[in-house]
Structure 1
Amino acid sequence: MKEILQYLFNHNTLTKVEAKAILTEIAQNKFNDKEVTAFVTVFLMRNITLQELEGFCEALMQLSVKVNLGEDLADIVGTGGDGKNTFNISTLASFIVAGAGQKVAKHGNYGVSTVSGSSNVLEELGYKFKNNEADLKQDLEKANLCFLHAPLFHPALKSVAPLRKGLGLRTFFNILGPLVNPSKPEFSVIGVYNLEIARLYQYLLQKQKRNFNLVHALDGYDEVSLTADTKIISKNGEKIFSPEDLGFQKINPDEILGGNSISESAKIFKSILEGKGTLAQNAVVTANAAIVLESTQKFGNYNSCLSLAKESLESGKALNCLTHLIN
Structure 2
Amino acid sequence: SADVLKALGVNIEAPVATVEKSLQTVGIGFLFAPLMHGAMKHAIGPRREVGIRTLFNVLGPLTNPAGAKCQLTGVYSKALVEPVANVLMRLGSERVFVVHGYDGLDEITVTGGTEVAMLKDGKIKTFTIAPSDFGMEVRHADDIKGSDAEGNAKITRDILSGTERGAKRDITVLNASAAICAGGLAETIGKAVPMAREAIDSGAAMEKLEKMIEVCK
TM band (smaller chain): 0.7 to 0.9
Structure 2 distance, partners of 1:294, 1:203, is: 18
Residue 207 of structure 2 aligns with which residue?
320
Q: Does 1:157 align with 2:44?
A: no
Q: Is the 8 A contact 2:81 2:116 kept in 1?
A: no
Residues 233, 265 of structure 1: CA spacing in aligned structure 2 closer, same or farther, 3 A cutoff? Answer: same
Deviation for aligned residue 1:215: 0.9
Q: How does 1:255-294 map to 2 (within 5 A)?
A: 255-259=143-147, 261-294=148-181
Residue 10 of structure 1 aligns with which residue?
none
The amino acid across from 2:100 in the alignment is: H
Number of aligned residues? 209
Q: Is the 8 A contact 1:143 1:320 kept in 2?
A: no
Structure 1 distance, partners of 2:104, 2:211, is: 34
**Which residue among 120, 137, 154 is the counterpart of 2:20?**
137
Q: Does 1:250 align with 2:138?
A: yes
Structure 2 distance, partners of 1:262, 1:297, is: 31
Once the two structures are superposed, residues 111-151 of structure 1 have per-residue CA deviations (whole angstroms, 9 ceiling, x without a partner) of xxxxxxx1111112222234644312211133210100000
Structure 1 distance, partners of 2:44, 2:192, is: 37
Structure 2 distance, partners of 1:183, 1:282, is: 28
Q: Does 1:302 align with 2:184?
A: no
Residue 50 of structure 1 aligns with which residue?
none
The amino acid across from 2:139 in the alignment is: I
Q: Is the 8 A contact 2:76 2:104 kept in 1?
A: yes
TM-score of the superposed pair, with normalisation by structure 1:
0.59
Deviation for aligned residue 1:296: 3.0
The amino acid across from 1:147 in the alignment is: F
Q: Is the 8 A contact 1:216 1:232 kept in 2?
A: yes
Once the two structures are superposed, residues 263-316 of structure 1 have per-residue CA deviations (whole angstroms, 9 ceiling, x without a partner) of 222222222222111411111100111112122333344333110100101111
| RMSD of aligned alpha carbons | 1.9
The amino acid across from 2:190 in the alignment is: N
Q: Does 1:224 align with 2:108?
A: yes
Structure 2 distance, partners of 1:299, 1:157, is: 32
For structure 2, the 5+ residue unaligned runs are: none
Residues 204, 162 of structure 1: CA spacing in aligned structure 2 closer, same or farther, 3 A cutoff? Answer: closer
The amino acid across from 1:308 in the alignment is: M
- Identity %, equivalent residues: 29
Q: RCO higher in 1 or 2 (8 Å CA, sep ≥ 6)?
A: 1
Q: Is the 8 A contact 1:130 1:136 kept in 2?
A: no
Tell me which structure has the larger Cα radius of gyration: 1
Question: Structure 1 runs of 4+ off > 4 angstroms?
Answer: none
Structure 2 distance, partners of 1:304, 1:137, is: 29
Residue 85 of structure 1 aligns with which residue?
none
